[in-house]
Amino acid sequence: MARITRYLPHLVLAVGAAAMLLPFYWMVLTSVRSASEIFDISLLPTVQGFNGPENYGRAASQVPMGRFMLNGVIVCLGILVVQVVTAVPAAYALAKLPFPGRGLFMTLVIAALCVPMQALALPLFVGLAATDLLNTYFAMMAPFFLSVFAIFLFRQAFRSYPDEIIEAARLDGFSEMEICWGLVLRAALPSLAAFSVFSIVAHWNDLYWPMIVISDINLAPPPLGMLLFADVESGANYGALMAGATLITAPMVVCFLLARRHFIAGITMTGVK
């Protein structure tokens, strides 16, 4: 009896985990199966012929899979760099530099935190269409250049930085920029790491906005590319489709497995997805 109550939680967790992981298992398994084996619904890897190279080759040749990934990297890094460059000084000013309008700006930040991106999509789309900027990297990145969440988070982290050190640095002739980036941000690196993970995961996986501004397949980020690929294949070749899904999912999953703590901290520090 004691043994049962001890192992029961593990048993329940194992059943749950099997359900959680089944899609990943099935995806990878199918991605290396031959087409004839697709109709074999056994969960066991009865490899009649290892068909990985062919499936992955087809995924990469049918659609520009490498291009999708490159687009994803460009867009995620572009967004992250601008977000950090604009949010860090603003957060520093909100935390440490009294200036007129500080209260108003903080109120605006809090208000903007409540507004989901999807509510701004329509006017931003019309603006980009009017300036003939649709189908550009800029269009994909622009709405995310300002992260009010980053401002909010960094302000929280910067506030606990001792004022005496800032004063001393000023007397030593440090410029405000040097204090902000060299001292205060350096003390808040865990927040920066967590935010970076949050931002990259969110934008690597985002479909809504790219679907609105991108119709050129060569500019598609991974999720939009996957959608186009799924429409091209339309169930004809599940091996290649699953190979494509594996390729697109792999970067975030691998990073997650390598830096589990950072990932969980980064993604769950907010529900603002």
Question: Segment 133-192, which members bind another protein (CB under 8 A)?
Answer: 142-143, 145-146, 148, 151-153, 156, 170, 176, 180
User: What is the rounded distance in angstroms from the CA atom of residue 126 to the CA atom of residue 141?
Assistant: 15
The answer to whether 81 contacts another protein (rule: CB under 8 A) is no
| Tokens 């709405």 sit on residue | 143
Provide the minimum distance between the beta carbon of 149 and another protein in the complex, in angstroms, as a whole number: 9
Q: How far apart are the first and last CA of the chain?
A: 44
Give φ, ψ of 132 to 5 degrees. 60, 40
Pick the closer one to another protein by CB: 167 or 218. Answer: 167
Segment 3 to 32, residues that bind another protein, using CB under 8 A:
9-10, 12-13, 16-17, 19-24, 26-27, 30
259 touching another protein, by CB under 8 A: no
Q: Among residues 77 and 269, whose Cβ is nearest to another protein? A: 269
By CB under 8 A, what part of segment 94-133 binds another protein?
94, 97-102, 105, 108-110, 112-116, 118-127, 129
| Size, binding site for another protein by CB under 8 A | 104
Name the segment binding another protein (CB under 8 A); options: 53-61, 73-81, 207-215. Answer: 207-215
Nearer to another protein, 77 or 121 (CB): 121
Give the C-alpha separation, 189 to 161, whole Å: 12
List 158, 161, 198, 263, residue binding another protein (CB under 8 A): 263
Give CA–CA dist 70/72, Å, rounded.
5
Inter-residue contact 158 to 96 (CB < 8 Å): yes
- Closest approach of Cβ 137 to another protein, in Å? 17
Which CB, 26 or 50, lies closer to another protein? 26
227 part of the interface to another protein, by CB under 8 A: yes
Rounded to 5°, the CA angle 25-259-82 comes to 110
Residue 62 in the binding site for another protein (CB under 8 A)? no
Helices (DSSP H) in 63-116: which residue ranges?
65-96, 102-113
* 56, HSE (Cβ side, Cα atoms, 13 Å): 12
Q: Which is nearer to another protein, 118 or 218 (CB)?
A: 118
Alpha helices in the chain (DSSP H): 2-31, 52-62, 65-96, 102-113, 117-130, 137-141, 148-159, 163-171, 176-178, 189-205, 208-213, 222-233, 238-258, 260-268
In the stretch 236-255, what mask flags binding to another protein with x, by CB under 8 A?
--x--xx-xxx-xx--xx-x
Q: How far is the CB of 168 from another protein (least distance, A)?
A: 13
- Residue 223 near another protein by CB under 8 A: yes
Q: Is 66 in the site for another protein (CB under 8 A)?
A: no
At residue 206's C-alpha, the angle toward residues 209 and 191, to 5°, is 115
Name the residue nearer to another protein (CB basis): 49 or 190.
190
